[in-house]
Amino acid sequence: MIQAIAFYLFAFVVILSGALTIASRNPVHSVMWLILAFFNAAGLMVLVGAEFIAMLLVIVYVGAVAVLFLFVVMMLDIDFAELRAGVARYAGIGLAVAVALAAEVMIAVGAWSAGKIDLTRRVAPVDPAMPNIQAIGTLLYTRYVFIFEAAGFVLLVAMIGAIVLTHRERSGSRFQNVARQNARRPQDATRNVQPPVGQGVQL
Amino acid sequence: MTSFFNTTVGLPYGWAWFIATIVGILAIALPLMLAVAMIIYADRKIWAAMALRRGPNVIGPFGLLQSFADGLKVFLQETIIPSAANKGLFLIAPIITFTVALIVWAVVPFQAGVVLADINVGLLYVLAASSLGVYGIILAGWASNSKYPFYSALRAAAQMVSYEVAIGFILISVVLWSGTFNLSGIVMAQKGVLNTPINGFFLNPLLFPMAIMFLISSLAETQRAPFDLTEAESELVAGYQTEYSSMSFALYWLGEYANVILMCVLNATLFWGGWLPPLDWAPLYAVPGIIWLFAKMMFFFFVFSWIKATVPRYRYDQLMRLGWKIFLPVSLFWVFLVSGVLMWMRVGFGS
């Protein structure tokens, strides 16, 4: 019973916070609702026994991606009137996407409940006694190792591309030369003098 | 404990589990709050001793009750909410910090088998929960609607995110060596490391640099000196806490010190043998494991205070350079090195 209560709690909060992500007027509040949605989705993952995915969801999305979102959104200077003016213009496209997604979910649920898909017959069988970190690791590094590495390369290329696109030489700015700073010693920078009374120090 | 409530008291299993879990949570959280109060006192005393001062010595014997007096003081103060603040987020932010600081303790093993949630992704849970800690600070800075807290929040967020990357890689080398993400498993893997009678990964020459880097990263992660740029009083007033008063301020203090104690415990657990005695020698196991863990935790807290009292504060660009240009590449290289050595030890060359 506690699983059912937890499931409905998490599912309700995911849907509610998803709706509020769209509905809230303040973009920072939107990001906060999005984070709550991620967090509760992680809770749902724990319930189905995928604790590794749940933890990764929290570490990657909540801990890193959403922080960057929040950073950007906080520093934006947002004109709320202008934002709301765009709603009517994009309503058509938004509605089309929503309908398409809803149709996909219905087709998937319909196909599943028609009973033609055997979810237990997997391409790569998994030993049920294995903890799921081990199971995922075994599959990723044996059967799917090339696809996994290809995914790594795609991400690497994307990262390099982002750096190349945004990188520009700045000529006017001054940089800290850390090696020079570390190499500096007190005896090079200071001088011990005992000036006679009434006379200053020659700099 | 579940079986005690189930069989001795005679409750159905569900209720027995529920009550046992609540009792377990209280048995961790309440002593933790007491520990936080005493550790603030210890911090001030150590800091004072290093500065040749006396530190708190008025309230109670040796000033032992100073933290409680401070707690009472903030509790009786008025909670001030700035009129320009975003009220909801302003009040939620300290609660997030405090809660996140407490939830990590669920997976910390205090002794053989004494752990609230013995989950197989324990270390990932620690990482996940500690990555949530940054929200309490960012939200405080933004919701205060005041410039110093905002600067401080940006600094804190950048700092915590960059050092988390290095911590992640450091933890991977520990996980590779011990072969499990479960914290109790990691402690047990440190028993008699490298066939010597010493317990703790620090003895392993491959993991010792990681132990040092983890100690430094944990200073940065908890924003202790020399990385306390978020609360640099000469630049940012009191940092993200500037607009907070009364209990909302106290929650930040409690959360911050609970995080510091947690990092001390994690240092002890991951590299210095956790609840195992320092030597793998039978008579030492007669002492309960929690005492060994506590002793190691106190030692690391002393190191934290020592550093706070003696090391000057970093410049911000130095902090970022240390995180991204030194710790990240070194720890990434170390993951390759450790996994290579383990392959060679367990599989051998060829094939």
Task: Name the pLDDT band for A116 (thresholds 50, 70, 90).
Answer: low
- Span B107-121, mean pLDDT? 83
| Residue B176 contacts A, CB cutoff 8 Å | no
Q: Do B128 and A133 count as a contact with CB atoms less than 8 A apart?
A: no
Task: Grade residue A101 by pLDDT with cuts at 50, 70 and 90.
Answer: very high
Q: Residue B145 has what pLDDT? A: 82
Please report, rounded to a whole number, the percentage of residues in chain B having pLDDT higher than 90: 9
Beta-carbon separation of A67 and B127 below 8 A: no
Q: Residues B184-197: what's their mean pLDDT?
A: 81
**pLDDT bracket for residue A84 (50, 70, 90):** low
Average predicted confidence (pLDDT) for chain B: 85
Long-range contacts of B285-288 (CB under 8 A, 24+ apart): B288/B111
pLDDT tens readout for residues B193-214 = 777 777 777 778 888 888 899 9
Distance, in angstroms, between B149 CA and closest chain A CA? Answer: 13
Q: Which residue of A has its CA nearest to B157?
A: A67
**pLDDT of B351 above 60:** no
| Residue B26 predicted with pLDDT over 80 | yes
Do residues B308 and B47 lie in contact, with contact meaning Cβ atoms separated by under 8 Å?
Answer: yes
Q: Do B157 and A71 touch (CB under 8 A)?
A: yes
Position B330 scores a pLDDT of 92
Kindly report the length of chain A. Answer: 203
Q: Is A55–B128 a contact, with Cβ atoms under 8 angstroms apart?
A: yes
Residue extents of the structural domains in chain B: 77-350
> CA-to-CA distance for B114 and B128, rounded, in angstroms?
22
Q: What is the H or E stretch that residue B176 is in?
A: helix B147-178
CA distances from B217 to A13, A79, A81, A182, B211 (A): 35, 40, 44, 21, 10
* Average pLDDT over every residue of A177-200: 84
Range in A63-67, B34-38, B169-173 with the lowest mean pLDDT: A63-67
State whether residue A35 sits within 8 Å of chain B by CB.
Answer: yes
In chain A, residues 72-111 whose CB comes closer than 8 Å to chain B:
74
Q: Among A67, A72, A182, which would you mutate to test the B interface (most chain B Cβ atoms within 10 Å of its Cβ)?
A: A67
Q: Where are the domains of chain A?
A: 1-80, 88-117, 131-168
Please tell me the predicted confidence (pLDDT) of residue A130.
74
| Closest chain A CA to residue B145 | A74
Q: Which of B243, B220, B227 is nearest to B91 (CA)?
A: B243
Across B117-125, average pLDDT? 84
pLDDT digits (tens, 9 = 90+) for B236-246: 777 788 888 88
* Residue B132 near chain A (CB below 8 Å): yes
**Contact at CB, B132 and A63, closer than 8 angstroms:** yes
Q: Do B124 and A64 touch (CB under 8 A)?
A: no
The pTM of this model reads 0.83
pLDDT over 80 at A126, yes or no: no
The yes-or-no verdict on residue A97 having pLDDT over 80 is yes
- A70 in contact with chain B, both atoms CB, cutoff 8 A: yes
What is the mean predicted confidence (pLDDT) over B338-351? 79
CB B285 within 8 A of CB B277: yes
CB contact B120 to A (< 8 Å): yes
| Local structure of residue B114 (DSSP, 8 states) | B
Give the pair of three-digit tokens for residue B226. 């020399």
The interface residues of chain B toward chain A in range 189-218, judged by CB-CB distance below 8 A, are none
Instruction: Decide if B332 touches A, using CB distance below 8 A.
Output: no
Q: Label residue A15 by pLDDT band (50, 70, 90).
A: very high
Looking at residue A169, what is its pLDDT? 81
Q: Which residue of B has its CA nearest to A64?
A: B161
Q: Does B93 touch chain A (CB under 8 A)?
A: no
Task: Provide the pLDDT for residue B115.
Answer: 81
pLDDT higher than threshold 70 for residue A122:
no
Compute the mean pLDDT over every residue in chain A, rounded to the nearest whole number: 83
Whether B117 and chain A come into contact, CB under 8 Å, resolves to no
pLDDT at A123: 61
Task: Assess whether pLDDT exceeds 70 at residue A83.
Answer: no
Q: Which residues of B touch A51 (CB under 8 A)?
A: 119-121
Name the token pair of B49.
């001793």
Regarding predicted confidence, which is higher, A176 or A57?
A57
The verdict on a CB contact (< 8 Å) between B14 and A2 is yes
Give pLDDT tens digits for A18-53: 988 888 877 888 888 998 999 899 988 888 878 888
Q: What is the pLDDT of residues B246-297, one digit of tens each?
A: 888 888 888 889 889 999 999 998 888 888 888 777 777 778 888 888 899 9
Span A1-80: which CATH code? 1.20.120.1200
- Across the range A114-129, mean pLDDT stands at 64
Interior angle at CA A90, CA A85 and CA A93, nearest 5: 170
In chain B, the N- to C-terminal Cα span, in Å, equals 49
Q: Is the pLDDT of residue A108 over 90?
A: no
| CB-based contact B270:B201 (threshold 8 Å) | yes
Between chains, do B131 and A59 touch, taking CB under 8 Å as contact?
A: yes
Q: Note whether B154 contacts A: Cβ–Cβ < 8 A.
A: yes
* B15 vs A155, residue with greater confidence: A155
Subunit contact B164:A63, Cβ cutoff 8 A: yes
Query: What is the rounded distance in angstroms from the CA atom of residue B327 to the CA atom of residue B165?
Result: 9
Give me the residue from B86, B157, B318 closest to A67, CB to CB.
B157
Integer Cα distance of A50 and B119 in angstroms? 12
Sequence-distant (≥ 6) Cβ neighbours of residue A74 within 8 angstroms: A28, B138, B142
What are the respective helix, strand and coil percentages of chain A, to the nearest 5? 70, 0, 30
Greater confidence (B7 vs A73) lies with A73
